[in-house]
Amino acid sequence: MLYLSGDAEVAYANGLAIVKSIIEPVAMIEDLNDPESYFEVQEFAVKRSDFVDAVTLEGRAELHLPERDVKGENYGQARAIGRTAYDDDENGIVSASAVHHSGEELAIFDLHVSELARMQGKRRTFAQWRADRSAATKKGRPRKSRSSQNAPQRGRSA
C-alpha cells in the first residue's frame, strides 16, 4: 500500500502527528531544533484513475462515514471499507485527511502501485521542499497540482 498526502502541507501535518505521538509527553515538538528537517517529501505523479471516494460528502454518505474524520475515530470502519475495496480489486481510496482540516490523502493498493504512481524528483527535507516551492513561486512557475485532484473519484458502497 502506498499512502500519499494530497500535498506537502498534509504530509507535514501527518508527520507532526506521528512525531508528537512518539515524543510526547517526554518532549514537545517545539523542543526539536528544526522540526522541518525531520520530515522528507517525495513527490509522485498519479495516473488518472478511479478510486473509492471517501472525500466528497456524497462518497462519505454512501460509505456511511461521518462528514469529517477525526484522528483515531472510525478506524475499524475505515479498515473494513479498505478491506472490501481491496477485495473488490479497486485501485485505492481517496479520503479526507484526519489531521489537516482541508487536506486529502490517497491510498493506492499494492497491486496497482506500479501502474498508477511514479516518483518524481528527489526526496528532500520539508525545509528544502518549502524553500524550493517558495523560489519556484517567486520565479512565476506554477505549483504542482495535488495528485488526488488529478484522478476522478467514484463512490462505492462497502
30-72 pLDDT tens trace: 665 566 666 777 889 999 999 999 999 999 999 998 887 777 6
Domain hosting 82: range is 2-154
Alpha carbon distance 138, 129 (integer Å) = 14
Cα 16-19-24 angle, rounded to 5 deg? 115
Looking at the whole model, is its pTM more than 0.85?
no
User: Count of domains in the chain?
Assistant: 1
